[in-house]
């Protein structure tokens, strides 16, 4: 791979100076899944971590490591304070010559493939090994890690409740080293609708809910120019069905960082842009012992300014200022009262004082119906799901969650085939055009039409095939 700059091969993150403080103690986890992206996984578990903790995934920048990001970003300080688990994915020089996450490589940025699939497997492992709450999963990252944060929010919107992109780039901006250059500087200008379509194309048919997104960018960043903050805003406001006019503006922190907030219909912050004055390319930190201070500046691209980790923790709803869980009891009597090939109907006993209910499927909130019953639609035949329910008061605050119930849709489960592109075409699962193979039904590009490119295709419904590398049973 040729030597390139910034988020591609690390010239934006120069050789780091020695760390200025003792290293944080991380746990290396060697077995967390099939790991198609060949990443390393590290975890930071605070002392006295509560049951069902939240988890924050933190992605380092080019030439950095999990250890460097843990030592300098300040995130571990807030994990200690508020009791959430931290997961630090780490790439290596075997993946990228300058240890950048491959946010611009198509094989690493799609659902079920490469590095994106490896990070998803880390989240699943955290749930099974540490008992983390699947409804409170968050992600953040710097530079190439920020761009990879965009990837994860688009590829797995049902997994992440929110994300924070620091000096990053919109999803689907680049598909090669060459196009990555243009994304970084001077930036790529697309309409909000076009950016949003890129996210929707990552999950055809999904209508939401979508993760909340905070965007942090320095005004003086010449490596990944501030235009990317504008384009990220355009992308995620459009995904949420919002316009690009801020509903609230304010200043925060010791340096008067300018905050713009874009509100959802219920008044919550769907998208936030934090513009840090005079900040070059890096994670803003503010070393010290104050309640809004964090991080260290002994390593390149951790820049004294504002403790972004403090504000990101608050955006995720993990700080002490977050309202406590509501007082409504857990709904009783939750049961699956009917199933079809594509639907599951749920019924439950009404809770006094409840204005609505939050329905969770496989750990992710999918709907807020006013009353029982509720029918979950658009499921695949022959698939099993786990449901839980919480009552919501008039302000939308959720109470205790019910016990889980399981249900399996009727019909035959989706069928999967793993073969090279030539074999897929010969079997009628794909077509060819211009030397490339395309999955029938979804028309997803499988790559060159030859015997060397291998994919797993899933058929659901009959005659409709989608790429399912690493995810098909």
Catalytic residue IDs = 143
The CA distance from 51 to 131, in Å, is: 7
Label residues 394-429 b or e (16+ Cβ within 10 Å = b): eeebbbebbeebebebebeebeebebbbbebbeeeb
- 139-to-239, 272, 290, 351 alpha-carbon distances in Å: 18, 15, 25, 33
| Token pair belonging to 128 | 């099974």
Torsion of CA 247, 249, 252, 257, to 10 degrees: 110
Report the Cα 88 to chain-centroid distance in Å: 13
The CA distance from 123 to 428, in Å, is: 35
Burial of 273 (0-12, 13-18, 19+ CB in 10 A): buried
Burial of 72 (0-12, 13-18, 19+ CB in 10 A): buried
3-class DSSP assignment, residue 62 = coil
Asked whether the beta carbons of 251 and 257 are under 8 A apart, the reply is yes
Residues in contact with 266: Cβ distance below 8 Å, sequence separation at least 6, in sequence order: 396
Closest among 59, 272, 246 to 148, alpha carbons compared = 59
DSSP letters spanning 211-261: -EEEEEEETT-SSS-THHHHHHHHHHHHHTT--SS-SEEEEETTTTEEEEE
Closest among 104, 79, 90 to 42, alpha carbons compared = 90
């Amino acid at each position: 791979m040729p030597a390139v700059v910034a988020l591609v091969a690390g010239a934006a993150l120069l050789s780091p100076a020695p760390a200025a403080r003792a290293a944080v103690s991380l746990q290396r986890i060697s077995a967390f899944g099939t790991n198609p992206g060949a990443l390393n996984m590290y975890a930071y578990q605070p002392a006295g971590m509560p049951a069902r903790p939240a988890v924050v995934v933190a992605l380092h920048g080019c030439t950095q490591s999990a250890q460097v990001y843990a030592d300098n970003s300040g995130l571990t300080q807030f994990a200690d304070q508020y009791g959430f688990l931290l997961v630090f994915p780490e790439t290596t020089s075997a993946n990228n010559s300058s240890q950048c996450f491959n946010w611009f490589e198509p094989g690493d940025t799609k659902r079920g493939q490469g590095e994106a699939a490896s990070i998803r497997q880390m989240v699943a492992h955290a749930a099974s090994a540490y008992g983390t709450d699947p409804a409170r999963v968050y992600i953040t990252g710097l530079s190439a890690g920020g761009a990879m944060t965009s990837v994860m929010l688009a590829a797995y919107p049902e997994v992440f409740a929110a994300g924070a992109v620091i000096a990053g780039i919109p999803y689907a901006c680049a598909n090669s080293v060459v196009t990555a250059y243009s994304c970084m500087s001077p930036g790529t200008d697309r309409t909000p609708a076009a950016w949003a379509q890129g996210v929707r194309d990552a999950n055809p048919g999904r209508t939401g809910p979508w993760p909340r997104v905070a965007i942090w960018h320095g005004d003086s960043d010449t490596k990944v120019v501030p235009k990317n903050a504008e384009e990220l805003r355009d992308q995620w406001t459009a995904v949420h069905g919002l316009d690009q006019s801020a509903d609230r503006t304010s200043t925060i922190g010791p340096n008067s960082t300018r905050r713009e907030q874009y509100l959802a219909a219920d008044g919550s912050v769907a998208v936030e842009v934090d513009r840090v004055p005079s900040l070059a390319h890096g994670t803003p930190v503010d070393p010290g012992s104050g309640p809004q201070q964090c991080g260290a500046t002994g390593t390149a691209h951790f820049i004294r300014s504002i403790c972004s980790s403090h504000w990101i923790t608050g955006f995720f709803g993990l700080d002490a200022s977050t309202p406590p869980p509501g007082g409504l009891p857990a709904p009783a009597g939750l049961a699956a009262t009917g199933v079809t090939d594509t639907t599951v109907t749920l019924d439950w006993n009404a809770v006094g004082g409840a204005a609505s209910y939050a329905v969770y499927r496989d750990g992710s909130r999918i709907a807020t119906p006013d009353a029982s019953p509720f029918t979950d639609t658009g499921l695949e035949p022959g698939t099993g799901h786990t449901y839980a329910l919480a009552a919501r008061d008039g302000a939308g605050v959720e109470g205790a969650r019910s016990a889980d119930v399981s249900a399996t849709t009727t019909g035959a489960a989706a069928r999967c085939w793993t073969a090279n592109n030539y074999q897929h075409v010969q079997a009628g699962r794909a077509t060819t055009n211009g030397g490339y193979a395309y999955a029938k039904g979804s028309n997803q590009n499988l790559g060159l039409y030859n015997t060397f490119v291998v994919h797993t295709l899933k058929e659901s419904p009959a005659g409709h095939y989608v790429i399912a590398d690493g995810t098909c049973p």
